Chains A and B, each alone.
Chain A
């Protein structure tokens, strides 16, 4: 296995699928000649040419809708949003068109496409460029929401998302693009809807996705030093959710902390906590704890930004609380 970055893993997945399927194309701002705002599409214009790797004007609603029409007409668009912050402009096409098209047409039209780009907080870019939207999209029937936390998952999950026949919201994390990890060479697919246990443990289950998975793993190391053996579960697919893996883990550890970068109110952690309460109430030895982003727009100043985001220390503390060790 080669060690490559998260961004190169995404690049490999797109190239793999474009070589395999002539209908797949990549469209977005700066994806072609600039080689991607975050260099995820590096070299793809040279490899596939301007017919299949297409720079757009800054026109999110327009090219998102163009993608919907192209998908309805039989193509397999990969539509890149430079970041998910800008996708708010395209929300009508994602929510009112892509997500509902199959249902609203009585099954006549499919919308097999991937909307992808960087989500979550970046570094020092203030409130309009640092936010998590997975709970928005995860609320919508008709969409799948996928969030990889490491390079191997990035490749396998993006390839699976492109092959999937539904509309997939694929949220990467800008802070992970440079992460390096072992990634299988050649064709690599990770089925959607399958969580992954990133660390096996017996005392407490830490459930975390995207960048927070890395934070949870760091917290688990710290907890180990304190004599608490944490299991880290990465859902990978947010919707639909592999709750069986989560519930099995909670049945073993009897304690759970849900971690997310996004806001607490009506967040992913709220859904997962509710599910554990509904399905595993008798397994719990303590109430489920949540560690989330603070309920504020993201500030610019370094210390404030740091404070607004969840921290490894907060995860450790929450785990200690549910383990009665605080």
Chain B
């Protein structure tokens, strides 16, 4: 349901009773498009062997990244698995530092120590970037525990995929979070495939929002290809957690256009299936249509915007690539905080 909002004499869209100003819609659109172009650039740089190791792109899932960020406060904690570029960009971290990390440069967001899978930005309360499937879920529960301990009303937004949701750590976390009414929103990005295994081949209960039932964790399912619905439903879930009612599960129905990682040709699904999501449900195209319909923008404006963003991303990649690799001395940094100088293995020494 999309209508022009005339009441406040302000241009925008009202959906399900929630008003989004033109300015905010543009910001959401631009961020989604930025993430899309950034990921495409990352894919290209990977193809040129400038990015090494594992690289998991989130093309198609941008509405989840941006809608969640829109619904949260900057002081709320957020953490996810290794498909993390989109989330940390949406959080507002420096894209050049993110690209520099992908390239293994000194100015990378974690100094070139982590790469694609380990993006962290403490200033933005973004805690990874965690490479072991499901590992971040107890950790996110721990951030929520700290919020409750300090009574500071911060919510932990703990993201996992439809693959991660089958890890035992997740259920241990659901239980503790419900038992102690911890302010955490467990977000399941259901992009239908855990690497190459489809949801129905891996999960007996494919309605993942129901996975909290035996822990009394309420769950909702959200169209993760609709950034406005993501924002709205996440706002409700975050409010639920912040108000002391405990955890909530939000299942985001989404789709990744690319393979699991750069080495995955995705032969386990049909081209038709990918095309159906790409052309029929794309989150960026969808918002563009809504905004054009509401008279907030034009196709020509969006084309120009796309050109501008592509230019920005090219500039970011160039700036990141121009950075030096980390100094070799960085090998020894940040292992231990309280170093004990006269004990073996000696800090900063071989042998």
| Residues of A participating in the B interface, judged by any CB pair closer than 8 Å | 25, 51, 56-57, 59, 61-75, 92-93, 96-97, 102-110, 112, 141-142, 144, 164-166, 192-193, 237, 239-244, 275, 278
Contact = CB atoms under 8 A, between A and B. Distances in A.
Contacts of B150: 74
Nearest to A99: B335
A300 to B, nearest CB: 29
Given A65-B138, A69-B146, 5 more contacts: A57-B176, A68-B139, A69-B139, A166-B337, A237-B340
A71 B110 CA distance: 19
- Sorted nearest first, the 7 A-B pairs with minimum C-beta distance are A69-B142, A65-B138, A62-B172, A240-B343, A73-B146, A106-B110, A193-B340
B168 interface: yes
A57 B174 CA distance: 12
A61 B138 CA distance: 8
Contacts, number: 168
A57 B173 contact: no
Contacts of B139: 65-66, 68-69, 72, 93, 97
Contacts of B185: none
10 contacts: A25-B149, A59-B175, A67-B142, A93-B139, A97-B135, A97-B139, A104-B118, A105-B118, A165-B337, A244-B342
B141 A51 contact: no
Interface string B100-131: 00000000111111100010111000011111
A275 B149 CA distance: 45
A69 B111 contact: no
A56 B118 CA distance: 29
Nearest to A27: B145
A65 B110 contact: no
Given A105-B114, A108-B122, A142-B335, A66 B127 contact: no
Most chain B CB atoms below 10 A, which of A25, A67, A110, A193: A193
A8 B139 CA distance: 31
A278 B345 CA distance: 13
Given A65-B173, A74-B146, A240-B344, A105 B135 contact: no
Interface string B147-185: 101100000100000000000110011011001000000
B273 interface: no
B114 A106 contact: yes
A104 B149 CA distance: 26
B119 to A, nearest CB: 9
B7 interface: no
A239 B172 CA distance: 31
A275 B345 CA distance: 10
Given A67-B142, A74-B146, A106-B108, A62 B169 contact: yes
B186 interface: no
Contacts of B130: 97
Given A62-B176, A73-B77, A96-B135, A106 B140 contact: no
B176 A56 contact: yes
B137 interface: yes
Contact of A108 (B110, B138, B145, B338): B110
A108 B121 contact: yes
Contacts of A193: 340, 342-343
B78 to A, nearest CB: 12
A166 B77 CA distance: 22
Nearest to B137: A65
Contacts of A239: 345
Interface in B328-349: 333-338, 340, 342-346
A75 B146 contact: yes
A110 B345 CA distance: 20
B132 interface: yes
